[in-house]
Amino acid sequence: MDLNLKQKVVLVTGATANIGRAIALGFATEGARLVAIGRDEEAGSTLVEEALSRGADRAVFVRADLLDPEAPARILDACAALGPVAVLVNNVGGNVGAGLFVDTDPDTWQGDLDLNLLTVLRMTRAVLPGMIDRQAGRIVNIGSTAGLVGDYMLSVYSAAKAAVHGFSKVLAKEVGQHGITVNCVAPYGTVADDPAAFSRGSRFHPDSDFFGKLAKAAPEDREKMARPGGALPRSIAKPEEIVGAVLYLASDQAGFVTGQVIQVDGGTLL
């Protein structure tokens, strides 16, 4: 199936680790012009080399922190030479904190909201005027099954991802008249096999203490975090298994699909 993504400018945020990295390389394989956004310069350079080797028409890495409200404008300036952005994948996100909500520090709430929701709003707002002018565009937001059912001890993260789902549906109604589709992919837990797939800043990177902090929680609480097994023999997805849904939603074949939240969860929500 020809997805007609060749030479289209595709912007992927959080592109240097795990799901984002796999998505970026998936578009590269389709011959897109990849704009990879991240904070780790070394991981970004490695990603660009691999993207070009896989068939990307062009590939650039833009070092930016989307927690900075000024970052989206600088990103668009940096990738202007490649052409107008045809596809935006809002992938950046993650867990800032974990624990029972009653024990959380209100000062940490904003971190989850900024990383998972406000980055999506900022980057989307930056690309929309150009898409509206061209009367075409694809926006794919990476949500989470946590936003559908709520993950135990991840209350604010779950709320932020639910907001991403809701925002996607409303925006789909607003911009459909301009030929723009907006959809979500909601993965379950997804972990790459290769440790090199985790750049600095990723919660899976050895420098991160996210899981160390989680390990200090009471055993009964950690047990409640785990969902019952899904329909498949394993409950953890591989990043490459998220890519197909994203590529489809970015393609011409999905031109009549908008406002949807597509679960990639191994049947864990059945």
Confirm if 190 and 236 have CB atoms less than 8 A apart: yes
Rounded to whole angstroms, how far apart are CA atoms 67 and 7?
29
Nearest to 165 by CA among 92, 261, 88, 245: 261
Identify whether 157 is a catalytic site residue: yes
Length of the chain: 270
SS3 of residue 150 by DSSP: coil
Rounded to whole angstroms, how far apart are CA atoms 61 and 25?
13
Write out the E strands in 67-136: 85-90
Reading the block at residue 262, the tokens are 């597509």
**CA dist 16 → 47, 60, 93, 109 (Å):** 7, 12, 12, 25
Q: What is the 8-class DSSP label of residue 55? A: T
List the catalytic residue out of 152, 157, 188, 248: 157
Rounded to whole angstroms, how far apart are CA atoms 245 and 170?
21
Confirm if 126 and 169 have CB atoms less than 8 A apart: no
Catalytic residue ranges: 157
